[in-house]
A and B are shown apart, each in its own frame.
Chain A
Amino acid sequence: MNESCYKTFKDLPKEHLLGTGTAMCAGCGGLEALHEIYDILGEKTVFINAAGCMTLLSIYPYTPFRGSWLYTSMASAPAGAQGVRDAMDILLAKGRISEAEEMETVVLTGDGAAYGMGLSATSGAIERNLNFFYLCYDNEGYGNTGQQTSGATPHAARTATHSGMHGYPGFKKDLFAIWAAHDPCYVATVVGAEPLDLARKIEQAKSLSGPRLILALAPCPTGWDFAPQETVQIGKLAVQCGVWPLKEYRDGRVVHTQVPKIRVPVEDYLKRQGRFAHLFEPQRNETLLREIQGRIDAYWARVEQEGLLESEDG
């Protein structure tokens, strides 16, 4: 384990590299994660984007990036990263660009593409050991089109396509496990509300070479139905109630980087979001609430049993 240079809040970057003036919603948890990550990754990056909310970061003639950007399609951003990375390697090998001109390729994708349509391309890229960075901002639904259910939607959440009294009957896909099963160089979950944990992970990922995948929970005021100013609080609660474990996969094992000592009841997290309001009004849905809490408890029990609870210093 390397010593991180991010020990306290004061170590976090105070210069923010991502430009303002973008069309993301006020209070966008995804944008918060992106700008924290961009501060550390820096401008020697080319962002390869898959269709989603963040496609609208760059609308002609406006872009917030200092470096480069390529919008591809919904399904094939990792393939775009493959093309750019390979081309840069070719140009370097043939002496047509210098090492100082080289850039990191970063796939930027929402959960809609990452959990679904883009999974094949992601799998292929990891399998080919592509040297790239992959950032998924997960707002648990197809956000840009109005928050329809996606592969990332959690059990019982109400969405535009599951608006009944029980919400979505399915369960959130475990994308972290799917990625980890490919044995890539590095996988981590982060959330903008925990910037120190995030910074250490990005720093770690930056130091490595190969497929590095980051899954960032993106609390979404528009899609989850809460006031924008709650974005950070909800992100913190997601971690504190254990529904969003902060963990890494590297060197063949899973390590939890921040473990809530006493887990807050998941209700405290759910009741602040309109998409779960039907679990409390007009009356409490005890069955679903118990089910949700039960699954979280089971996860942490299993994690403790498998000895995956070791956390980083600090």
Chain B
Amino acid sequence: MKTASRILGTAFFKKGYQVQDAPRYGAERRGAPIFAYVRAAHDKIFERGIIRDPSLVVVADETLVQMPAAGVLQGICGATVMLIHSRVTADAWQNRLHLSNPLYILTPDEEEDEQIDWRSLGVKCAAAAARLCGVIPWVTFSSALREEMGGLPAAVVKETLAHARRAYDRMESDQGCVHAVPPIPTRPCATPDWVDLPFEDARTSAPAIHQAMTSEAVKTGLWRTLRPLINRDQCKGCAWICSTYCPDGAILVNAEGLPQIDYDHCKGCLVCVAQCPSHAIETATEGERNS
């Protein structure tokens, strides 16, 4: 995502725009939402941080839309264009989200039926975004890509360019649909809803949690791209090796002494698949072949 935003930022920069791009990490953790922001303008850019009223929101990982903590829809306005990498149609998305915003879909490549290539996904989204903005010709985009990915082996860069080109071409018919959003009016300026924060006692107002295991409300199952499936016929109920090895404790042992995967929390690390002595756990792509 960071590279994607930098490619887009550099591309705008090469076209003579003032640019500001920045990533925003979620807890420096793999699997947690990563945002990147790109601002491009003809005038000097003074605004910073979260983009309110973005012209374009690009969603590379569609599962994030369901996570309130990811805040994908935070700050959008009626004019915001949405681009989602998904097999689901635009109409279906608009129904799901109850939005009337212009919404475009970047469909995955045919080769990606089995597994999404995460490494090139960000760049493909950047390429699609560049096309939608309508002011970045391919030659500029590819030059920006080469610059930002310069440290990588030539073969990787070439392959990524090919992926990006396909995505860029796919958005041809929607070229130029993204525009600058009009600035927030100052007259009348909406009043911020400031409050005088009332004093609360230290038990409430110290950063402390007075409940056990509240983390279980966080559905880390949404991190998964691959899902482990226990084949009941082959599972020997060995001694719950999978349950012991699961780093997250997401495999429970039921009353019959058989393992059960907690799919709300399974992150799809597949340690269980690798370690099951009976090879009784299979892998499936998340979203397909649900058990």
Q: What CA separation (Å) do A314 and B207 show in the bound complex?
A: 46
Closest A residue to B32 using CB positions: A23
Chain B residues, Cβ within 8 Å of A36:
244
B265 adjacent to A20 (CB under 8 Å): yes
A14 adjacent to B240 (CB under 8 Å): yes
B residues engaging A (CB < 8 A)? Answer: 27-32, 207, 209, 211-220, 223, 238-241, 243-250, 252-253, 257, 262, 264-265, 267-271, 273-275
A residues engaging B (CB < 8 A)? Answer: 8-10, 12, 14-29, 31-32, 35-36, 43, 56-67, 144-146, 192-193, 195, 221-222, 227-233
A64 adjacent to B213 (CB under 8 Å): yes
A24 adjacent to B29 (CB under 8 Å): yes
Chain B residues, Cβ within 8 Å of A35:
247-249
A25 adjacent to B30 (CB under 8 Å): yes
Q: Given A9-B239, A230-B274, A195–B244 Cβ distance below 8 Å? A: yes
Q: Name the prevailing secondary structure of the B interface residues.
A: loop
Chain A residues, Cβ within 8 Å of B248:
20, 22, 24, 31, 35
Chain B residues, Cβ within 8 Å of A58:
209, 215
6 cross-chain CB contacts under 8 A: A12-B240, A23-B218, A25-B29, A31-B247, A231-B247, A232-B245
Chain B residues, Cβ within 8 Å of A232:
245, 271, 274-275
Q: Given A25-B29, A26-B223, A62–B247 Cβ distance below 8 Å? A: no
Q: Given A10-B239, A20-B265, A21-B216, A192–B247 Cβ distance below 8 Å? A: yes
Q: What CA separation (Å) do A192 and B245 show in the bound complex?
A: 7
Chain B residues, Cβ within 8 Å of A28:
247
Interface centre among B238, B244, B253, B264 (most CB of A within 10 A): B244
Chain A residues, Cβ within 8 Å of B220:
20-23
B212 adjacent to A66 (CB under 8 Å): yes
Q: What CA separation (Å) do A21 and B262 show in the bound complex?
A: 11
Chain B residues, Cβ within 8 Å of A43:
212
Interface centre among A16, A31, A65, A221 (most CB of B within 10 A): A16
A21 adjacent to B215 (CB under 8 Å): yes
B268 adjacent to A65 (CB under 8 Å): no
Question: Whole-angstrom distance from the CB of A51 to the nearest CB of chain B?
Answer: 13
A228 adjacent to B244 (CB under 8 Å): no
Closest B residue to A235 using CB positions: B245
A20 adjacent to B250 (CB under 8 Å): yes
Given A16-B249, A26-B268, A29-B247, output 10 extra A-B contacts at Cβ < 8 Å: A9-B240, A15-B253, A19-B249, A20-B220, A27-B247, A36-B244, A56-B27, A57-B215, A62-B209, A193-B245
Chain A residues, Cβ within 8 Å of B244:
9, 12, 36, 195
A27 adjacent to B31 (CB under 8 Å): no
Closest B residue to A144 using CB positions: B28
Q: What CA separation (Å) do A98 and B217 show in the bound complex?
A: 33
A146 adjacent to B28 (CB under 8 Å): yes
Chain B residues, Cβ within 8 Å of A60:
207, 209
B243 adjacent to A16 (CB under 8 Å): yes
Instruction: Pick the contact of B269: A9, A17, A145, A231 (CB < 8 A).
Output: A231
B247 adjacent to A32 (CB under 8 Å): yes
Question: Whole-angstrom distance from the CB of B272 to the nearest CB of chain A?
Answer: 8
Q: Given A12-B239, A192-B247, A62–B215 Cβ distance below 8 Å? A: yes
